[in-house]
Amino acid sequence: MAVNVSEIQPGALVEATDYPVGPVEQVDTSGQGESFLLVRHGRADFLLRIPERHIAEHTSGRVRLDMKLEDVEALAIASRTIPEAGKEILDAGPIGAGPHVDEVLGGVPGSSPLGPATG
């Protein structure tokens, strides 16, 4: 079945075979040949670039893919859309102790953080 991605609207929900992926941010038809959906996965600060060949069916507001969510993520990693797990996490080393609660909240040193005694 030929896919007409121009019918897909920004905001359409993209679903893998096993889990929702996220909303379409943009339909990219600028390249030669295949078009892509640019999809925001959750609150990610990157967009997943999903080739039109993986669209199983669609309406203007909903897109179903022909693969699982883990395959979508693997495709994104292979295309360098998102970093490999662990590559963006660095050890910042030990940190010092934070300020005392009275310093942060402005309470009187030595008084109960729950307020004065009532009894």
Per-residue pLDDT reduced to its tens digit, 79-94: 765 555 555 445 556 6
pLDDT, tens digit, 9 for 90 and up, residues 15-45: 999 999 999 998 888 767 788 888 988 887 7
Q: In the chain, what are the domains?
A: 5-78 (2.30.30.240)
Q: Give yes or no for a contact between 26 and 10, defined as CB atoms under 8 angstroms apart.
A: yes
Tokens 């993209």 locate to 14
Q: Judge whether 8 and 63 are in contact, CB under 8 Å.
A: yes
The H-or-E segment that residue 20 falls in is strand 20-28
pTM comes to 0.63
What share of the chain in percent tops pLDDT 70?
75
- 74-107 burial, b at 16+ Cβ within 10 Å, e below that, comes to ebbeeeebbeeeeeeeeeeeeeeeeeeeeeeeee
- Residue 21 phi, psi dihedral angles, 5° rounding: -100, -50
**Confidence band of 66 (pLDDT split at 50, 70, 90):** very high
* DSSP letter assigned to residue 53: G
